[in-house]
Amino acid sequence: MNTLKATFCTTMVLGATLLIAKPALATQFIAADSSPGTQACMAVAANKSYSLRKALRDLNISKAVMSKKLHCNNLSMGDFVSLYNLDKSANYLNIDTSTRTSIKDLAKSYNPEKVIITGPK
């Protein structure tokens, strides 16, 4: 019985630790300037629907324009959200990332710690 309790307690502690711990290699996005395009790209990079809603309202941009015409770091919005796994932003902008096909080298990990965000030029 004591072995069962010890195993259960160990499992609970490890589970709680995994839920609380943040990933060590989280990507940090840095704005290159304060242009409206860069602000919109930073809102997408935040990966939070409420920050996207606020940016759309503040910049007076529609969801369709943001998802189809805005380019961040010279990438289309679909490619940008796929590259950095911004799934919440993709869902809010109605961008389907599940149908994209690409070949990834699993041995080479492209996950920089800091990314400079630039809007359209």
**Each residue's pLDDT tens digit, 60-94:** 999 999 999 999 999 999 999 988 889 999 999 99
90's CB contacts (< 8 A; 6+ apart) are 78, 81, 82, 96, 97
Q: Tell me if 120 sits within 8 A of 38, measured CB to CB.
A: no
Q: How far is CA 18 from CA 7, 10, 13, in A?
A: 17, 12, 9
pTM over 0.75: no
DSSP state of 118: -
Model confidence over 84-120: pLDDT tens digits? 889 999 999 999 877 666 666 656 555 667 888 888 7
Q: List, for residues 17-54, the tens digit of each pLDDT value.
A: 444 444 445 789 999 999 999 999 999 999 999 999 99
